[in-house]
Amino acid sequence: MTHLGETLKFLLRYTIAGLALAFLVVALRPEWLPRTMAPASALRPASYADAVQVSATAVVSIFSLRSARADDGSERQLITSLGSGVLMDPGGYILTNLHVIQDASQIRIQLTDGRVAEPRLVGIDSLTDLAALRINLSGLPTIPLGRSDTLRIGDVVLAIGNPFGLGQTVTQGIVSATGRGLGLSLIEDYIQTDAAINVGNSGGALVNARGELIGINAASLEPSLQPYGLSLPEGIGFAIPVNLARGVMAELIEHGRVLRGWLGVQAIELSPGRAAVLGLSGGGLELTEVYPDSPAHEAGLRPGDILTDIDGQRVLLRANALNLIARLKPGSEVRIAGMRGDQRFERTITVVARPD
């Protein structure tokens, strides 16, 4: 018993010492303790039902009736096209893609509550493939508006629309890229996503995880790309950023069309090799044509001039330069800089409205 008692005393002594040491660590050096990471599932919502609830009622189905030739080309027939649209304000203004309603002889809007209305065409903008419609109904839902300029790669997005005429459908994905250009429209700044955007989704809403509108869904672009010898794999969709779409809609409501700035030039992007020869490590745009009597012509610009800056912003891509000029109001001034031979030049030019 004496031996057993000594053993128990020994174990108890070291147990108390260990507990005391642990207490000191917790009290004096808590940063030494291992931190438990929250599981990934705890960092994201288990459901996006709230986001859908605040946005989906503002997404409408659009049915367009148009005349088209039969496949054999023998006679014309009436066909119904499907699409979607987004109610932007309580006044009944709807934003959709132009190709959804283009050349339609009759258009019908169906709300999620079952009501049907015939809209009035407010205006179209072929350069962005957008159109504004208006319906005269009371108690209309509207979608919360977000910002597309704060999007990050990897943000969760939801695409809401009427694919294949199945009724309203929601698909989920992430922002895969921003600022995409596909060469399909003159003004492009697409959001790329892996959320499924199918036929009938065109003109529908791309919303963030809070249900705020961040883009207008574009159609399946693969058929349009065939003439360019391109093919898009499945799982790639595109949407027009809400910041661009809102500006277009405001112009359509006020003027029936979009008034854009215009200089009157055509340009191509400098290849890296040519830019190096010219000593322009940052690149630039070479003017290939200056239209007679245009603002650029009156400012003395010539084919062969290299454009490097617009209002202090370096321009490397043709699409970026086009967007910068297009956003200017007719009558406003723009400061440009560039190179002619080995001489740098600057000009202040008053832009005019882009011709139709």
Beta-bridge partner residues of 237: 193
CA proximity to 288, closest of 318, 245, 319, 323? 318
Mark whether 297 is an active-site residue. no
Cβ atoms of residues 195 and 238 within 8 Å: no
Q: Whole-angstrom Cα distance, residue 222 to residue 233?
A: 8
Q: Out of 61, 84, 99, 176, which one is annotated catalytic?
A: 99
Element (H, E) at 314: strand 313-314
CA proximity to 270, closest of 228, 314, 316, 330? 316
- The helix/strand/coil state of 306 is strand
Give the up-direction half-sphere exposure of residue 164: CA atoms within 13 A in the CB hemisphere.
6
Mark whether 271 is an active-site residue. no
Q: Whole-angstrom Cα distance, residue 131 to residue 258?
A: 11
Sequence-ordered strand ranges (E) for 38-196: 59-69, 76-87, 93-97, 106-110, 116-117, 120-125, 130-134, 156-161, 169-180, 190-193
Q: Out of 125, 129, 189, 305, which one is annotated catalytic?
A: 129
Mark whether 81 is an active-site residue. no
Q: Whole-angstrom Cα distance, residue 278 to residue 158?
A: 46
Q: Whole-angstrom Cα distance, residue 221 to residue 238?
A: 8
Q: Whole-angstrom Cα distance, residue 115 to residue 252?
A: 25
Q: Whole-angstrom Cα distance, residue 109 to residue 296?
A: 44
Cβ atoms of residues 217 and 171 within 8 Å: no
Burial 265-299 (b: 16+ CB within 10 A, else e): bebebbeeeebeebebeebbbbbeebeeebbbeeb
Q: Out of 202, 220, 294, 305, which one is annotated catalytic?
A: 202
Beta-bridge partner residues of 266: 289
Q: What residues are labeled active site?
A: 99, 129, 202
